[in-house]
Amino acid sequence: MTLEGKVAIVTGAGSGLGRASARALAAAGASVVVADIDDPGAAETVDQIRAADGTAISHHADVAVASDCESIVRAAVDEFGSLNVLHNNAGVAWPGRDGFAPDIDPAEWDRVISINLNGTFYCCHFAVPEIAKAGGGSIINTASSMAHLPLGGLDGYAASKGGVALLTKSMTPSAGRLGIRVNAISPGYVDTPMNGLIWGNDDVKHAFDLGHATGLQDPDEIADVVVFLASDASRSLTGAVLNCDRGWTAFKQPDLLRGF
């Protein structure tokens, strides 16, 4: 699954899944633009890539702002000459602020949708012409198991990730005519700081762990799927929303979480 000579953007790459994906893409040979609103986190990711003899630069961006998304694409082309891979990974989940629809502050709803869904659209909007110009490539969007099996209580997050999944499918025919494959990943629950906000304590974390056939996931295993989708090894896949969730959506998870 070599990516030698390819140029990739990863949003939300300053920590968690984004950092793991940026490192894995670089290890496969890609030059990576590490985009994040968290400048120290992005710089640390770049340092880790360079320490492993990879190539990367950091770029400050808030994906909820269209002009910032344009600037990420411009940075990739200016620094590395082209763009081949876009991994739309930046996202937020805010337990306690994003809940049941009538209880959500509309401003909080707007922010979740702006980052998770609008940010994916904005990056695609600016990246597609450059990827087409380079002869085609791959877009990998991060959806979620909540796009298929919402738990309730995070209505904004579930709606945003459902939108990402359908945007992925809707883009596929037109992108294909440009030589671009568009897929999405739907991880289950990965042991990251953001998901720690969702389960909150060890008892709830244990319940989530039991809901996966082989336990909670780690960021590196999701990064392996991203590299696969970025590479020609997945050339038959486009319009796919892959449940890379260790079986989470194969079960009726809400039953496990009653009482928490």
154: tokens are: 């995070």
What number of residues does the chain have? Answer: 260
Q: What is the CATH number of the domain that holds 60?
A: 3.40.50.720
- Residue 155 domain-assigned (yes or no): yes
Of 116, 56, 72, the residue nearest 90 (C-alpha): 116
Count of domains for the chain: 1
pLDDT at 257: 54
**pLDDT by residue, tens only, the chain of 260 residues:** 799 999 999 999 999 999 999 999 999 999 999 999 999 999 999 999 999 999 999 999 999 999 999 999 999 999 999 999 999 999 998 766 778 888 889 999 999 999 999 999 999 999 999 999 999 999 999 999 989 988 888 899 999 999 999 999 999 999 999 999 999 999 988 888 777 777 778 888 888 888 888 888 999 999 999 999 999 999 999 999 999 999 888 875 555 555 44
- Residue 85 domain-assigned (yes or no): yes
**Residue 71 domain boundaries:** 7-257
Reply yes or no on whether 122 is catalytic: no
- Residue 2 domain-assigned (yes or no): no
Catalytic one of 157, 189, 228, 248: 157
pTM value is 0.93
- Residue 1 domain-assigned (yes or no): no
What is the Cα–Cα distance from 149 to 24, expressed in whole angstroms? 28
Number of DSSP helices (H) and strands (E) in the chain, helices first:
9, 7
b/e map 15-26, b = 16+ CB within 10 Å: bbbbbbbbbbbb
